[in-house]
Chain A
Amino acid sequence: MTLLTSNNLTLQYDGRPVVEHLSFAVEAGDCLCVVGENGSGKSTLLRCILGQKKPDGGSLTFGDGLTRSQIGYLPQQHPAQKDFPATVEEIVRTGLLGRRAFSPRYSKEEKAAAARAMQAMELAGLEKAPFPTLSGGQQQRVLLARALTAARRMLVLDEPAAGLDPVVTAELYRAIERQNRAGMTVLMVSHDIPSALSMASRILHLANGDYFFGRPAEYAASPLGRRFTGEAAI
């Protein structure tokens, strides 16, 4: 089942095309890693998927009845969050809000859904912990749990490991992989090509108008992939 189809998509940033004639598809259960240098259009593509930007050409469509409210989103961390007075539970539960229009109170079922997401992100016992007292890796897992609470069919992650050390990054990727294996479709923007190759079922590499889309093994053998995996190995 195809959840997302990009057909001959063109996207502009500041009047300049950053993505041109892009075609790819995301199937249910896929883990698609979007890689590419800064300015290659990764963020612009994300904004288009999240409905914040319209295609400047071609189309991007959801399939199999997928709607935006079924997507859980992890944005890049905001510096003002570092000292924000909020508990883990308060933050994770905001993932529930996309599901309904009017929301004075959370129901029991909703609280349970948020608790499951915290469990999955190994945050049990930290529900009442203030966000600023957590480590960088824990904070990222909180935001991931919020995305997971919102996600019923797809997770969209923007640089989930930005600013984390290698050990914490590996743990975070394992948590994402577990969700993917449990059936959650994952679309992840990343700088980290080796990790992307190890966990992705599909790679989308954006490179200034040019692009690669395919399986990791094909990517490693492609001209774009050889250039970038070569660089990453140095």
Chain B
Amino acid sequence: MSVSQLFADPYLLRVVLRALAVGALVSLCAAMLGVTLVLRRFSMIGDGLSHVGFGAMALGTLLGLTGSYAMEFTLPAVALAAFLLLRLGDSGRLKGEAAVAVLSSAAMALGVLFYSLSGGMTADACNTLFGSASVLTLSNQDAWLSLGLSVAVLLLFACFYHRIFAVTFDPAYARATGLAGGAHQLLLALLTAVTVVVGMKMMGAVMISALILFPALIAMRLCASFRATVLAAAVAAEGCFLVGFALAVAAGLPTGPTVVTVELLVFLAASVKRRA
């Protein structure tokens, strides 16, 4: 698909613009949720959840669920996993990181088994893992879901910004003073799950966690206050996504890996800048 072809074909243009919108919105949500997840030492959760997403997709395929049904099956599975992981991380009985690692590899193993039972590792499985080589697989449902998700995340930050900061900085204090209860945890888990499931289609299960981690890590290297960190993460996420997406479309590269590579380069530059 060359750029001139793209503008010549209205259908193609619409599909690409839809993918651009979905990607930009999901990147924004992932970055904002990522700041609280990374700072609370829950970095691996995005990765764990995407593997659960892969496992659930595979089970869906085995059960003959395709298209929008696959999403309706995957979303609750990932949301449940997210809630359990966040709970585990706080209770401290089983170390959070061990729990995530176990869940990741187990879900991956089951996912591969399910795919091979349903007729081998097809292109479908490959897309779930590494993201769509083209952006044509994104549906209108994905676009609406990502729009709804972004509105929810932005509203959450607009209304509860100070509380989110208080909980992220000091969960023990927030719990003791009644600033954050189970509802907060549930909401964070749910939004993270939706971000992972929607983002997975474009980025692939193994790369979606980059959207959560890199913007936060870039921002943390450049900012001294929490407010600046949240804003910088959002800007970094949008910038990296737009550049990566444009490069991918122009050069015919897969979207996920291109965006992640751009994020990696910005992260390295930010690290060098902090040292200097």
Task: Write the residues of chain A forming the contact surface with B, with a CB cutoff of 8 angstroms.
Answer: 47, 50-52, 68-69, 73, 75-76, 78, 80-81, 84-87, 90-91, 93-94, 97-98, 102-104, 106, 128, 130, 143, 146, 150
Contacts and interface: CB of A to CB of B under 8 A. Distances in A.
B175 interface: yes
B165 A76 contact: no
12 contacts: A47-B176, A50-B176, A73-B173, A73-B177, A75-B176, A84-B169, A85-B39, A85-B226, A85-B229, A94-B170, A104-B162, A143-B170
Interface string B225-266: 111110000000000000000000000000000000000000
Nearest to A72: B177
A12 B78 CA distance: 36
Contacts of A106: 162
Given A78-B170, A80-B41, A90 B176 contact: no
B182 interface: no
Interface in B160-198: 160-163, 165-166, 169-173, 175-179
A104 B159 contact: yes
B123 interface: no
A207 B116 CA distance: 61
Given A86-B165, A86-B169, A130 B176 contact: no
Contacts of B170: 75, 78, 81, 94, 143
Interface of B: 39-41, 158-163, 165-166, 169-173, 175-179, 219-220, 223-229
Contacts of B162: 93-94, 97, 103-104, 106
The 7 A-B residue pairs whose C-beta atoms are closest, nearest first, are A130-B224, A94-B166, A75-B172, A86-B226, A87-B225, A50-B176, A85-B229
Contact of B39 (A75, A80, A90, A128): A80
Pick from B40, B158, B159, B165 the residue with the most CB of A within 10 Å: B165
A contacts with B: majority SS: mixed
Pick from A73, A84, A86 the residue with the most CB of B within 10 Å: A86
A84 B173 CA distance: 15
A75 B173 contact: yes
A213 B159 CA distance: 45
Given A75-B176, A104-B161, A104-B162, 17 more contacts: A50-B177, A73-B173, A75-B170, A80-B39, A81-B170, A84-B226, A85-B39, A85-B226, A87-B225, A94-B165, A94-B169, A94-B173, A97-B163, A97-B166, A97-B177, A106-B162, A146-B173
Contact of B169 (A51, A52, A91): A91
A103 B178 contact: no
A98 B224 contact: no
A78 B173 CA distance: 10
Contacts of B39: 80, 84-85
A52 B175 contact: yes
Given A84-B39, A85-B223, A85-B225, A68 B169 contact: no
Nearest to A74: B173
A106 B165 CA distance: 14
A176 B224 CA distance: 28
A68 B178 contact: yes
B161 A130 contact: no
A86 B225 contact: yes
A75 B220 CA distance: 25
Contact of B224 (A73, A87, A94): A87
A106 B161 CA distance: 11
A104 to B, nearest CB: 6
A47 B159 CA distance: 29
B71 to A, nearest CB: 33
Contacts of B175: 52
A98 B177 contact: yes
A76 B225 contact: no
Contact of A104 (B158, B177, B220, B229): B158
B227 to A, nearest CB: 7
Contacts of B159: 102, 104
A103 B227 CA distance: 16
A98 B158 contact: no
A68 B178 CA distance: 9
